Amino acid sequence: MTDHPYKSLPDKAFWRRSVSAPEIGDVDPVGVFDLKITPETKVATAGSCFAQHIARHLKSSGFDYYVAEQGHPLISPGVLSAHNYGTFSARYGNLYTARQLLQLMDRAYGRFTPAEGPWIDPDGTVRDPFRPAIQPGNFVSVEEMEADRKQHLAAVREMFETLDVFVFTLGLTECYRSKEDGAVFPLCPGVEGGEFDPDKYEFYNQGVEDVVGDMTEFLARLREVNPKAQVILTVSPVPLMATAEPGAHVLSATTYSKSVLRVSAEMLRKAHDFVHYFPSYEVITGAYNRGAYYARDLRNVTENGVGHVMGLFLKYATGGTPAAAPRKAEAPQEDSFLKMSQSFVEVECEEAALDRG
């Protein structure tokens, strides 16, 4: 028998040994992840819905979950949380696309001032088009919205300049943008505020070159203001709520979107030694769990799934042992699955507004 390269590979390189044979909770799809985080490391988060889970677990795991925009201490903690202070490291809401992230940075540093004006609701209250669901009850005036946005962008600058690690969850490739200046919105205008006007807005579905290009620019600007910053990329396992890609089925559109994001993450990781990839996408979507990490809507992620991801994250990032990852297989058809489904964490997801009818 001849020798060959596969003979010397570790178990994780083989499907049977590392995916199909182990118990669900033992599957560990982490490839290369050598970033270490200590309790003193300032970890900031941004991204799509799934990033909220990461933020929540970081908060409860003894990490220095960095919140640059905390809200005023006169406000009760419960209200601050309900009003999206601390949901992420600054009050930007969900950043679904790489372009949103890049434009956020450019807006924060005055390199980009979108032409889009404030969105006024029928009751006269005001929304920020770039975070339309950030303020429950909306802003009472354009002046208040603009003052809050100015404060928000200052917090974003502070966050970028002083964080140690930035965890960004790539969520979507589909977006709506202004025809005038290319400003992208987290939600299609008209879904959660604003009014859809086909003469003003257009659908755009990013490809790999867009995502890699946007993220490469973002990474360069981040390192400009914070040369020691490390970046962890993840891909959200949450499928699209709806697709606007002409003629597309939402399942195929999801596959396209997540594939683009996963390829982009890998290209970025290989191109930059300060960029790391953490496979939360694989933990949740991998066939090894037979769908057990999705709730009944096949979209939201169960608490057990999040626990598995974060257990692995803590294991690798801290060198410690994994937290509460499930040890027993839970088949989707079992009652335990139904119970788990019911206990899934209902992340406040602006995107859900798309399906409100």
Binding mask 124-143 for other proteins (x = CB under 8 A): xx---------xxxxxxx-x
Interaction between residue 324 and other proteins (CB under 8 A): no
SS3 for 242-310 is CCCCCCCCHHHHHHHHHHHHHHHHHHHHHHCCCEEECCHHHHHHCHHHCCCCECCCCCCECHHHHHHHH
Q: Are strands 165-170 and 230-235 parallel, antiparallel or unpaired?
A: parallel
Q: At closest approach, how far in Å is the CB of 267 from other proteins?
A: 40
Q: Are 149 and 162 in contact (CB under 8 A)?
A: no
Binding mask 141-160 for other proteins (x = CB under 8 A): x-xx--xx--x---------
Interaction between residue 71 and other proteins (CB under 8 A): yes
Contacts of residue 46, Cβ cutoff 8 Å, sequence gap at least 6: 88, 89, 90, 92, 95, 101, 166, 167, 168, 169
Residues 170-199 interacting with other proteins (rule: CB under 8 A) = none
Q: How far apart are CA 116 and CA 319, in angstroms?
A: 46
DSSP state of 206: -
Of the residues 82, 115, 220, 271, which one makes contact with other proteins according to CB under 8 A: 82
Q: At closest approach, how far in Å is the CB of 127 from other proteins?
A: 11
Q: At closest approach, how far in Å is the CB of 71 from other proteins?
A: 7
Q: How far apart are CA 45 and CA 62, in angstroms?
A: 15
Region near other proteins per CB under 8 A, out of 12-20, 76-84, 95-103, 207-215:
76-84
Q: How far apart are CA 272 and CA 247, in angstroms?
A: 37
Of the residues 74, 198, 227, 228, which one makes contact with other proteins according to CB under 8 A: 74
Residues 254-293 interacting with other proteins (rule: CB under 8 A) = none
Q: Are 218 and 101 in contact (CB under 8 A)?
A: yes
Q: At closest approach, how far in Å is the CB of 70 from other proteins?
A: 10
Interaction between residue 78 and other proteins (CB under 8 A): yes
Q: At closest approach, how far in Å is the CB of 90 from other proteins?
A: 14
Note the residues at the interface with other proteins (CB under 8 A).
71-76, 78-80, 82-83, 124-125, 135-141, 143-144, 147-148, 151
